[in-house]
Amino acid sequence: MPRVYDSRKRILVTGGAGFLGSHLIDRLLAHGHEVICCDNLFTGTKRNIEHLHGNPAFEFLRHDVTFPLYVEVDEIYNLACPASPIHYQHDPVQTTKTSVHGAINMLGLAKRVGSKVLQASTSEVYGDPAIHPQTEQYWGNVNPIGPRSCYDEGKRCAETLFFDYWRQNRLRIKVARIFNTYGPRMHPNDGRVVSNFIVQALTGEPITIFGEGQQTRSFCFVADMVRGLHQLMDTADEFTGPMNLGNPREFTILELAERVISLTASSSKLVFLPLPEDDPRQRQPDIGLATSEMGWSPEVDLDDGLLSTISYFKERLQ
């Protein structure tokens, strides 16, 4: 049974030393909760949480979610999984295990202690979408045997497990489909387009664009994303999702590169490379459900978010 006491909760965040997880922990602590950060530090880093050491409401646990975890908590945010192609393709079998075994272990923990559990899923469940923008009702267009499949299908299977636990055990679940998120604490070598472009621009290296740069993405600043995740966890138990969380403003990759060059006053030149296999041509969330269900929409403009991220990388690269 869930523990019953005041509004202060004990919350587990897996992947909590990562880019997104560390920002979520900051928000949860600011709202007066106790947080256990679980991370095996494969892609996460102690740098992202070093400012929290000494905080009596914060605890770091080095642990791999592919193994069971035994703690007493009221809520679980399951964010553990490499999220960039460079990292998740480095060990694709482990990536799938993290998504699938990690989901099973966190669902089992939630079942044992009666907690609510949120799965950080991804827009990649839509694959290379045949509809635009993508709504939660769309089943996706995913290659099950390609180089991105370890992540795409791993997250799809995790969603399956969450909804089967909900149907079979009436577990209190939430599923968020996260679209491209960026901001301070991104890994400088994660291969994601925002961090790639900013690091290349700041170091004067050529900015590498795959294909002709006409593929589109929608970029959500990290503060907006963690606010959305927090609000989703706090929705009524009857609401499960899945729910798209992202910024519906759509930009081509070429437009992003030009903005980064302008904001950094960089002399970097554009270099065009072959498009990777299964790279989605379009990515834009329909956030109508998030807006109607909890009044959520992004607030941070792309230029403002990029300036904040550029400032972070300038300090990192010194």
Task: Please indicate, yes or no, if residue 271 is contained in any of the structural domains.
Answer: no
Task: Please indicate, yes or no, if residue 108 is contained in any of the structural domains.
Answer: yes
Alpha carbons 173 and 274: distance in angstroms, whole number: 40
Task: Please indicate, yes or no, if residue 261 is contained in any of the structural domains.
Answer: no
Give the residue carrying structure tokens 């969380």. 245
Task: Please indicate, yes or no, if residue 2 is contained in any of the structural domains.
Answer: no
- Tell me the Cα Rg of the chain: 19
pLDDT digits (tens, 9 = 90+) for 173-229: 999 999 999 999 999 888 889 999 999 999 999 999 998 999 999 999 999 999 999
Q: What is the pLDDT, as a whole number, of residue 278?
A: 63
Share of the chain above pLDDT 70, in %: 97
Task: Please indicate, yes or no, if residue 213 is contained in any of the structural domains.
Answer: no
DSSP 3-state assignment of 22?
A: helix
Task: Please indicate, yes or no, if residue 313 is contained in any of the structural domains.
Answer: no
Q: How far is CA 169 from the centre of its chain?
A: 26
Task: Please indicate, yes or no, if residue 114 is contained in any of the structural domains.
Answer: yes
Q: What is the pLDDT, as a whole number, of residue 275?
A: 81
Confidence category of residue 1, pLDDT binned at 50, 70, 90: very low
For residue 79, report the phi and psi dihedrals to the nearest 5 degrees. -105, 0
How far CA 116 is from CA of 122, 128, 155, 234, 238, in Å, comes to: 19, 31, 19, 10, 12
pLDDT digits (tens, 9 = 90+) for 257-274: 999 999 999 999 999 998
Task: Please indicate, yes or no, if residue 307 is contained in any of the structural domains.
Answer: no
Q: Are 100 and 161 in contact (CB under 8 A)?
A: yes
pLDDT digits (tens, 9 = 90+) for 237-264: 999 999 999 999 999 999 999 999 999 9
- Average pLDDT for 69-83: 95
Alpha carbons 187 and 191: distance in angstroms, whole number: 9
Instruction: Residue 90: give its domain's CATH number.
Output: 3.40.50.720
| Pairing mode, strands 75-78 and 116-122 | parallel
Query: Domain limits at 89?
Result: 10-181+222-247+284-298
The model's pTM is 0.94
Active site residues: 151
Alpha carbons 195 and 187: distance in angstroms, whole number: 7
Q: How many folded domains does the chain comprise?
A: 1
Q: What is the pLDDT, as a whole number, of residue 69?
A: 97
